[in-house]
Amino acid sequence: MHVPDGFINTPVSAVTGAIAVGAVAVSLRGARRELDERTAPLGGLVAAFIFAVQMLNFPVAAGTSGHLLGGALAAILVGPFTGVLCISVVLLMQGILFADGGLTALGVNITVMGVVTVVVAYALFRGLVLVLPRGRRSSVTASAFVAALVSVPAAAAAFTLLYAVGGTTDVPLGKVMTAMVGVHVLIGIGEAAITALTVGAVIAVRPDLVHGARGLAAPLKLLVDGRLVDAAPAQAPAPVAARSTRTVWGAGLASAIVLAGFVSFYASASPDGLEKVAADQGIDKKAEEHAAADSPLADYGVSGITDGRLSGGLAGVVGVGATVAVGSGVFWTVRRRRGQQPPVVAVTPARTGEKETA
């Protein structure tokens, strides 16, 4: 659903750009509370994994494909504020390096694919996990499935509303809305499956690393005199931060490289949902050439390499490396700023008859 240049007019693009900047600024502050010794190293990895999976277009209908948006996955794994930053990093790398998604439309893409998907998905996810049985992994994965499924057509509807205000061609908006939401419901099923499988896999090995699953453990019950009562809290275990994330980080990075470098060759070549609707409804009549069309990595291939498999694979690996480097740099910086905040010093009033010391 990468919106190219020319779909949305300049005033609306500017407004969405301001919205995106505001959302990123708020997310930078909010991410300080979400990132800790466990999740700070994983933020860049989540962004790189989403970049890799977005290269895997899957068929959803005749002549139409879809790909992961990733907002739900990022929000559930590392938190909603960090999730917005993850998607923003991915979209920035795709726009600058691969000419995917317009640069003047970057604000539109961050707003639609980042902010809308994260807000809708995480709000729905939290609501579901609060009403489903607590302490069950199936409850978390089921909630992730539903949240991801709904977030995709929600993003499609958000794009259509933006197009109704700032579209550059005169098209029947009712038909656009129906087509966009309809095809993205199908794409949402694929998004939901990928999200649930990924969240479930991480929960199976390191549930402490899933932001959305924290605090959901059901209290231990004891049978006393025929009645179930809450057990006394157990002694606090060793800090979870002491547990290394190297294994998870290494496995995740290896998976991203394999997906982007090898599996992506077998992705569907059909246009994605937005491209198909744009062509059918005439939205793309004023599409503009990408400002980075001359990039050596444009269209996810390495310039000068004629072998399609090798060219696409190398481009994917470069993209994963660039995304994990930029994302990790952002999240480590945010984490350090949190650690540099001055501690709160409690001042105890001096007792009567005692002198106060500075």
Distance CA 325, CA 237 (A): 33
* Beta carbons of 249 and 297 less than 8 angstroms apart: no
From first to last of its 358 residues, what are the pLDDT tens digits of the chain?
Answer: 999 999 999 999 999 999 999 999 999 999 999 988 777 778 999 999 999 999 999 999 889 999 999 999 999 999 999 999 999 999 999 999 999 999 999 999 999 999 999 999 999 999 999 999 876 788 999 999 999 999 999 999 999 999 999 999 999 999 999 999 999 999 999 999 999 999 999 999 888 889 998 876 544 455 556 665 555 544 444 444 445 788 889 999 999 999 999 999 999 999 999 999 999 999 999 999 999 999 999 999 999 999 999 999 999 999 999 999 999 999 988 988 765 555 445 454 554 445 444 4
Q: What is the pLDDT of residue 240?
A: 45
Q: What is the pLDDT of residue 235?
A: 43
Q: What is the pLDDT of residue 152?
A: 98
Q: What is the pLDDT of residue 328?
A: 92
* Beta carbons of 328 and 43 less than 8 angstroms apart: yes
Q: Give me the residues paired with residue 167 across strands.
A: 8
Torsion of CA 69, 265, 78, 148, to 10 degrees: 40
Distance CA 56, CA 191 (A): 11
CATH number of 10-17+33-218+247-335: 1.10.1760.20
Q: What is the pLDDT of residue 342?
A: 52
Q: What is the pLDDT of residue 189?
A: 97
Total-model pTM = 0.88
The tally of CA atoms less than 13 A away on the side-chain side of residue 137 is 14
* Beta carbons of 75 and 150 less than 8 angstroms apart: no
Q: What is the pLDDT of residue 358?
A: 44
Q: What is the pLDDT of residue 302?
A: 96
Degrees (nearest 5) of the Cα angle 159, 151, 59? Answer: 85
Q: What is the pLDDT of residue 233?
A: 47
Q: What is the pLDDT of residue 41?
A: 78
Q: What are phi and psi of 215, to 5 degrees?
A: 75, 15
Question: What residue ranges do the domains of the chain occupy?
Answer: 10-17+33-218+247-335
Distance CA 316, CA 57 (A): 14
